Amino acid sequence: MATIPLSDRSFSRIARLMHGSVGLSYGPNKKSLMHSRLAGRLQRLGLRGFDDYVDLLESADDGGEFQMAVDLLTTNETYFFREPAHFALLQAELQRTRPQQLAVWSAASSFGDEAYSTAMLLADLEMMGCIGPDWSVLGTDISERVLQSAVQGIYPADRLRDVTPQRLKRHCLRGEGDSEGLVQMRETLRERVRFGQLNLCAAIEPLGPFDVVFLRNVLLYFDAKTKSAVVDRVLAQLRPGGLFFLGTAEGRVPCKTPLTVLAPGAFRKETRP
């Protein structure tokens, strides 16, 4: 079956809908990406073209298709201990401060790789006596589909390629038989991580305060104005003096909240107003 073309008109309709509803920004240079992510969905639904698809997305009873479109447009590759320098900095900070209580927020958690990576690190630091036992990790994302997968905590083994053998043994179960090639987080780790759906472009009810916040590799979906608003909205949940991480390629996003640069993509929320 031939691929259904995406006209400029249909692209603009979808781009406006995504920006108005969830803050996602798609300039003309993202047209091919949008087409590649959504074309197969149209074929599976038996639709004649993208205008029909937008009509479905805008309908009052879309059968969950709008959420599916958001999932398809925002899901990217992720893996455990991505950008390891951030985890090394976090470990050094916690070994220095030795907190007895600790709350961490993975604000764009996707499939949960980042949240569980953090939980592995914290569990190991607790075992070493560097932090107290009262710690928790919250992972949030706009996609229900990825969150359902995150709760299960099952991953292809390649996604854990940067996890040390010792950590794999302590925190993971290797699949056998039909599950060979898969890895599941042990229950003792999964019970320390909570997941919930959250739209970062809408008002955020009090979730924290948190001592550490990760907001990595999600701002690329937003325009400049939305980026600044999202960062300030997220930083309102972070304690003064807390650590804040962005993707290293995202640079420093202009925001009203005072931040001190610690390393590429790593910041401390200043204690002054």
**What pLDDT digit, counting tens, does each position of 59-81 carry?**
888 888 888 888 888 766 788 99
Given the residues 141, 190, 192, 211, the one annotated as active site: 141
Domain count for the chain: 2
Q: Identify the helix (H) or strand (E) that includes residue 52.
A: helix 50-58
Domain extent, residue 183, equals 84-269
Task: List, in sequence order, every residue forming a beta bridge with 206; answer none if it has no partner.
Answer: none
Q: Flag whether pLDDT at 171 surpasses 70.
A: yes
- Asked if 134 is an active-site residue, the reply is no
Select from 142, 82, 68 the least CA-distant residue to 115: 82
217 Cβ contact partners less than 8 Å away, ≥ 6 residues apart: 76, 78, 82, 108, 247, 249, 250
Encode pLDDT of 120-161 as tens digits. 999 999 999 999 999 999 999 988 888 999 999 999 999 999
Q: Give the up-direction half-sphere exposure of residue 37: CA atoms within 13 A in the CB hemisphere.
A: 17
Report the C-alpha gap between 19 and 232 in whole angstroms: 19
pTM, 2 dp:
0.84
Q: Tokens 């639709």 sit at which residue?
A: 47
Q: Are residues 164 and 190 in the same domain?
A: yes
DSSP type of residue 112 = S
Given the residues 37, 145, 159, 268, the one annotated as active site: 37
What's the CATH number where 158 sits? Answer: 3.40.50.150
Q: Tokens 């951030």 sit at which residue?
A: 86
Q: Is 193 part of any domain?
A: yes
Q: Are residues 164 and 188 in the same domain?
A: yes
Binning pLDDT at 50, 70 and 90, where does residue 101 land?
very high
Q: Are residues 46 and 91 in the same domain?
A: no
Q: Are residues 46 and 152 in the same domain?
A: no
pLDDT at 74: 77
Kindly report the average pLDDT of the chain as a whole number. 91
pLDDT at 273: 56
Encode pLDDT of 81-92 as tens digits. 999 999 999 999
Q: Are residues 256 and 149 in the same domain?
A: yes
- Asked if 37 is an active-site residue, the reply is yes
